[in-house]
Chains A and B, each alone.
Chain A
Amino acid sequence: QVQLQESGPGLVKPSETLSLTCTVSGGSVTSNSHYWSWIRQPPGKGLEWIGHIYYSGNTNYNPSLKSRVTISVDTSKNQFFLKLSSVTAADTAVYFCATGQSCSGGSCYPVFWYFDLWGRGTLVTVSS
């Protein structure tokens, strides 16, 4: 059973870079049947997809954040990462890592259009 756990600083200063880690347990980030995603939720607001990475290293980002976002993976640590640069108060949010998979007839393939496994989320506040 794959589990995800976010970690990282809970407070980041404006203009600095937000860095978060998602640790994958019970599975491998090198799996070809998962896209590994980051999603965030500002306090009292809706969810916002940030982007994802595939085991091959291919990434896709939300156009509204693309210039500031980098998602990467460390296969030796079974982790993937989020970096968001030049943060402002508007980046204050609960950040979730998540993934989706579709399985049928014993075979599984990755999906990025829905998320059936989420981490618990971590609150990041941007403030001086």
Chain B
Amino acid sequence: QSALTQPASVSGSPGQSITISCTGTSSDVGGYNYVSWYQQHPGKAPKLMIYEVSNRPSGVSNRFSGSKSGNTASLTISGLQAEDEAHYSCSSYTSTSLHVLFGGGTKLTVL
């Protein structure tokens, strides 16, 4: 089972908005609203930022938003801040063998 596809890196300046894509198939991203996004700073555990495509856990800034179109999910971060610089990973439930797939991760650089 292949991992979900994410760009290796994205960058933006403080105050700008960026979008990270996560592409799968109709058996995972496209077939279910079970996409989530994680932020991970170096040496730290991942932190859940978005679950079930577009829901934010309590305490996560509303600058983070999620969406999905077809087999591609997206994470948008608006009003970029220096502390947003981190790795971001997507995940999705997959009906193939009923498990969870992750993307390869995207490094966000705040210029």
A residues apposed to B, CB below 8 Å: 39, 45-49, 51, 60-64, 96, 112-116, 118-121
Contacts and interface: CB of A to CB of B under 8 A. Distances in A.
Size bracket, chain B contacts: 20 to 34
7 contacts: A46-B102, A47-B89, A49-B101, A60-B98, A62-B99, A64-B1, A120-B44
Contacts, number: 64
B100 interface: yes
Contact of A47 (B44, B91, B92): B91
Interface SS of A by simple majority: loop
Interface stretch (B9-17, B45-53, B77-85): B45-53
A46 B89 contact: yes
B62 interface: no
B54 interface: no
Contacts of A116: 48, 51, 57
